[in-house]
Structure 1
Amino acid sequence: MMETQEKYTDRELVDRILNSETALFELVIRRNNASLYRIGMMYRFSHEDTQDLMQETYIEAYKHLRQFESRSSFRTWISKIMLHLCYRKTQSWRSKHVEAMTEDSPVSDMETNETSDIVMNKELNSVIEKSLLNIPEKYRIAFALREINGLSVVETANILEVSEGNVKTRVNRAKAYLRNEIEKFYNKEEIFEFNLIYCDAMVDRVMRKISTMSRTQPQK
């Protein structure tokens, strides 16, 4: 299965799964594990809770796969499912997880450029990881989607259901928070990685769940 990772585009993959090639859903899982894991971690969920949310996300995506219409990227579509589930979970923990936040004054272009140099260039360490988790949630999530998961401003705005300008503001403010807390650089590819061991386990969890579902292919 690994050698077929890049064989199909997301659209081709979805079409084949909808045409009863259910086993190919493994590729959907492998392509999106790291991205979804980072989203869960940015919501401050534990490793175990994040895995549970990922599994739920994949099952929801499988059951509603016919609703994917390629108007956005598949990564955007499935990220919105994960974000919705994360948001729903945080609501039951509102007193612990949701902070009252107010908009601060805009960050200057000079500060933004300086911070971009800080946050985009060197290996992530535990100090920076903790700093990211101390950023207010709405800034942290926007930062994770844009700078860590590599989504475009348009895709991030689509997922968060805010304007593109709002996305830029949130990301800039996240960088400003980081700039005040960190001195070392990091490699964005190493942040909150969902390594191969966990990836294989997630594939197994989801595919076993799918195999026990009454239907043999996604339904409308």
Structure 2
Amino acid sequence: MNNIKQFDQYDDLEIVSRVLLGEVALYEIIIRRYNSYLFRIGRTYAYNHADTEDLMQETYLSAYSNLSKFENRSSFKTWLVKIMLNHCYHRKQKFSFQKEVMTESFEQETAIPMFVNQNNDTDRTIVNKELGRVLENALQQIPEDYRIVFSLRELNGMSTNETSEALSISESNVKVRLSRAKSMLRFEVEKMYSPADIFEFNLIYCDKIVENVMRRIGEML
């Protein structure tokens, strides 16, 4: 990792271009950059840790195999998330709610995430870690269509437009689902938890994903 750390500041397109030109080792940067995103998506779909890791690895391998097909019509992050979602879809039924009706409840939506840590002292951090688990459990109680929108927007920080592209639904539907997801979750939790406290992805697991994916890519060369 030390040898490629100098490339950390490069944007996704630069890394992709270099990988396509033969600097395959740089793909590790992509994996580390998006591990937490994909992990949260898999867990949001209620896959266990092991299944989520499998889905992540397959996503990275699929992305690598199709890297030359990335046309930059959307961000690389959105493209990668869509691949992950497709793998998740393959195991579960696709979204059933296609035509929600817009209501006033989300029209005043702000860009401020629902879960913001307003106190950084050590005791509160410890408490938040426990309550983060409560939120994880609460998320599993709401319908999957709303759960994944909440994950992309609130936990992964994707914009309404990015989420719309990733899920192939309208921006209005994204707003509807996010609003309804928040309504369902407000009953369970308060506005003081940071996304980092939810579905934590330990560095040890991150290294494991990197090692497995890069080994399998090596076998493909």
Superposition TM-score tier, normalisation by shorter sequence:
0.7 to 0.9
Q: Displacement of 1:31 after TM fit?
A: 0.5
1:191 aligns with 2:198: yes
CA distance in 1, matches of 2:71, 2:184: 37
2:219 aligned to 190, 212, 218, which one? Answer: 212
| Structure-2 residue corresponding to 1:41 | 43
Structure 1 Cα separation of the partners of residues 107 and 77 of structure 2: 32
Distance 1:10 1:110, change over 3 A: closer
Give the secondary structure class of the aligned counterpart of 2:92. helix
Amino acid of the structure 1 residue aligned with 2:170: S
Tell me which of 138, 159, 168 is aligned to 2:166: 159
Which stretches in structure 1 are left out of the alignment for 5+ residues?
none
Cα distance 1:109–1:165, how it changes in 2: closer, same or farther (>3 A)?
A: closer
Q: Please, which runs of 5 or more residues in structure 2 have no aligned partner?
A: 119-127
Residue 190 of structure 1 and its aligned partner are, at CA, apart by 2.1
Give the direction of change, closer, same or farther, for the CA distance of 1:12–1:111 in structure 2 (3 Å limit): closer
Residue 86 to residue 109, structure 1, CA distance change in 2 (3 Å): closer
| The one of 18, 21, 25 aligned to 1:19 | 21
- Asked if 1 retains the 8 angstrom alpha-carbon contact of 2:115 and 2:190, the reply is no
Aligned residue for 2:157? 150
Match of 1:61 among 57, 63, 78: 63
Shift of 1:108: 2.4
| Structure 2 contact 37–156 (Cα < 8 Å) conserved | yes
Residues 99 and 15 (structure 1), Cα distance of their counterparts in 2 relative to 1, 3 Å cut: closer
Structure 2 residue aligned with 1:121, among 113, 117, 122? 117
Give yes or no for contact 1:58–1:206 (8 Å, CA) kept in 2.
yes
Q: CA deviation at 1:73?
A: 1.0
Does the C-alpha gap of structure 1 residues 173 and 29 become closer, same or farther in structure 2, counting only changes over 3 Å? same
Structural mapping, 1:130-145, within 5 Å = 130-145=137-152
Instruction: Tell me the CA shift for residue 130 of structure 1.
Output: 0.9
Distance 1:162 1:18, change over 3 A: same
Query: Letter of the aligned partner of 1:25 in structure 2?
Result: Y
Structure possessing the higher relative contact order (Cα contacts under 8 Å, 6 or more residues apart): 1
Distance 1:5 1:46, change over 3 A: farther
Between the aligned partners of 2:101 and 2:36, the Cα distance in structure 1 is 31
Task: State the percentage of identical aligned residues.
Answer: 49
The answer on 1:6 being equivalent to 2:8 is: yes
1 CA distance for matches of 2:199 and 2:19? 29
Query: Residues 26-78 of structure 1: CA distance to partner in whole angstroms, max 9, x if unpaired?
Result: 11100110000000000000000000000000000000001112221111000
Q: 1:101 to 1:136 in 2, by over 3 A?
A: farther
**CA pair 100-69 structure 1, distance change in 2 beyond 3 A:** closer
Provide the TM-score with structure 2 as the length reference: 0.84
> In 1, are the aligned partners of 2:39 and 2:56 still within 8 Å (CA)?
yes
